[in-house]
Amino acid sequence: MRLIVGISGASGVIYGVRLLEVARELGVETHLIATGWARRTIEHELGRPAAEVTALATASYHPSDLSSPVASGSFQTAGMVVLPCSMKTLGALAAGYTADLLTRAADVCLKERRTLVLCPRETPLHAIHLENMLRLSRAGAIIMPPVPAFYDRPRTLQDVVDHFVGRVLDHFGIRSGLYAEWQGMGPEAVDEP
């Protein structure tokens, strides 16, 4: 399986990095596009050299390299995730503006009807953000903000990150074992008036 992974410069790069780590452990072929700001954010938020993170991917491409394989629909992939997805990237995709490889690869997924998961990391959201998300959802993208789940009672930040990354991978049919499936609370939990 081939998966394209985009990391934009938004806060929350820990999610994209963890996805690369897990994909590598599972033997998933990853093709990474990390923007310049993503590299800076990796170093700032995680204290890791960006080169260490890009080395986690099977292949890594410069955002200006529009001649790379992931720029073409003939390069077969399971799809793409942009994690995190900045509002700049989201807005460009919503407008069909593909000036760099990250937006071009995502646009290819849309046109080829491949799975595209966008994980916008911004709050609060204004009307333009919301309209861009709706427009992309209507075009076939899965809009999946990195919102933590608490039903599995996470104890650490790693638990929160792993749960979300596992849910993202589910959209590509990749079972990661990073979280336990919801089993319900049982009928005794319901207190109806």
Binding residues for dimethylallyl phosphate, by number, are 151, 167
Query: Binding site membership for FMN: which residues?
Result: 9-11, 35, 86-89, 121
Beta bridge partners of 30: 3
Number of C-alpha atoms within 13 angstroms, CB side, residue 124?
2
Asked whether the bond before 120 is cis by omega within 30 degrees of 0, the reply is: no
A 10 A CB-CB count for 86 gives 23
Amino acid at 152: D
Residues at the annotated binding site? 9-11, 35, 86-89, 121, 151, 167
* Residues 120-149: b if buried by 16+ CB within 10 A, e if exposed: bbbeeeeeebeebbebbeeeebebbbbeee
Please state, as a whole number, how many other Cβ atoms lie within 10 Å of the Cβ of residue 190: 7
3-state helix, strand, coil in the chain (%, to 5): 40, 15, 40
- Is the distance from CB of 156 to CB of 129 less than 8 angstroms? no
